Structure 1
Amino acid sequence: MNGFSIKSDDKKEEKPATAMLAPAPKPNASSMETQSANGGSGKKVRRKRNCKICICFTILLLLLIFVVILILAFTLFKPKRPVTTIDSVTVDRLRASVNPLLLKVILNLTLNVDLSLKNPNRVGFSYDSSSALLNYRGQLIGEAPLPANRIAARQTEPMNLTLTLMADRLLSESQLLSDVMAGVIPLNTFVKVSGKVTVLKVFKIKVQSSSSCDLTISVSDRNVTSQHCKYSTKL
């Protein structure tokens, strides 16, 4: 008897392996909050740093501008003292008479004073109102108003003033009789101008200029025989 041998194929059909991808983990809510918080804080830090840089730059720029203004103010625009000059003094009217019984002098006197005010600055000079004074042996006997005004840069303003003797000021002056009898009257004219110079529209510097002239008036000739002036300026 012929034997049969049945061969069984134990080999099973191999199935292709399918690669299984692990699902991506879902973002955690707490980690998202942490990342957003870190991003927001970083932006705040950068914003603060930029603000500090801008502030520092602005301060440096302002300091630089201030230094430049100071340099210009004390070099190119350095304030200079105005000069008041009495150019001439003339007798407009003079009448003197003596009453020998009363030992009294009747004196009428008017002087014309030509003066000039020079502004040597590169900017305008504004001065306040003042007066030109006429003195006799230290006593005020007449004055003329000097209105406030402004002089342009590097300009000279001429002025003409009239000083008239106020007769009542000499009623008690005992030396006037001897001066009139001697034929000469000593007088003094004084002008003082005060104002300010504004440099670059920022710095306001006060300045002052004055002039004082000693005069000798001839009674017979009715004119000024001598004139000696002194000038002073102050910042």
Structure 2
Amino acid sequence: MKDNRKRVKVWLAVTCGVIIGIVLLIVILAFTVFKAKRPVNTVDSVTLQDLNVGLDVTRLRVDLNLTLDVDLTVKNPNKVGFKYSNTTALLNYKGQLIGEAPIPEDKISAGEKKGMNLTLTILADRLLSNSELYSDVLSGKLTMNVMVRIKGKVNILSIFKIHVVSSSSCDVTINLSNRSIADQVCQYKTKL
């Protein structure tokens, strides 16, 4: 009887040791090899696809049609996939939302880069009440902001789910006289 108890105790000790070892191995892998890294979205380029500007001097009003093509890259440096939800790229003028483009949900495999091409078109009715637009058009330069914010999850070993928010904000200056992008300054931020 003592031998059976001793065998059971040894078997329980070995089983507990193996379980603890496996748990420690998973935790070590999760915090070293599979440690969540920050996916980064980058605005590679902003190009002017279409621009029509008309000044109505009698009413001090601007008729503006503008379409921007935005090339965006999302890089996943993780050893596991990154899944992001539906989001929207935003086009702003002096803090006012004037255009948007949808970005459908998707998954980016481990170590992969995914390129996206977005088209942002001004919703012209949103600029009718903006009094600064007239003076900006007269100056020949128009500055807008392209904002892309991607939210998603990095799923490590189906145990740890880490939420990630990656954003890009680019100030784009358009030269109206030669219908080109004069300047593009971007800032990038990622939060785990």
Find 1:114's aligned residue among 59, 71, 75.
71
Q: 1:126-148, CA deviations, whole angstroms, 9 ceiling, x for partnerless residues?
A: 11110111000111100000000
Tell me the SS of whatever aligns to 2:15. Answer: helix
Q: Are 1:210 and 2:179 an aligned pair?
A: no
Q: Shift of residue 169 of structure 1?
A: 0.9
Q: Distance in 2 between matches of 1:90 and 1:170?
A: 21
Q: Are 1:169 and 2:169 an aligned pair?
A: no
Stretches of structure 1 lacking an aligned partner (at least 5 in a row): 1-42
Q: Shift of residue 117 of structure 1?
A: 0.4
The structure, 1 or 2, with the larger RCO (C-alpha pairs under 8 Å, 6+ apart) is 2
Structural mapping, 1:1-235, within 5 Å: 43=1, 50-235=7-192
Give the fraction of aligned pairs with identical amino acids, expressed as a percent. 52
Stretches of structure 2 lacking an aligned partner (at least 5 in a row): none
Q: Shift of residue 56 of structure 1?
A: 3.8
Q: Bigger shift: 57-66 or 166-175?
A: 57-66
TM-score by length of 1: 0.78
Residue identity matched to 2:58: L
Structure 1 outlier segments of 4+, above 2 Å: 45-60
Q: For the aligned residues, what is the CA RMSD? A: 1.5
Q: Shift of residue 60 of structure 1?
A: 2.5
Tell me the SS of whatever aligns to 2:21. Answer: helix
Structure whose alpha-carbon radius of gyration is higher:
1
Q: Distance in 1 between matches of 2:136 and 2:70?
A: 22
TM-score by length of 2: 0.94
Q: Distance in 1 between matches of 2:120 and 2:5?
A: 72
Q: Distance in 1 between matches of 2:98 and 2:5?
A: 74
Residue identity matched to 1:87: D
Q: Distance in 2 between matches of 1:175 and 1:55?
A: 77
Q: Shift of residue 59 of structure 1?
A: 2.7
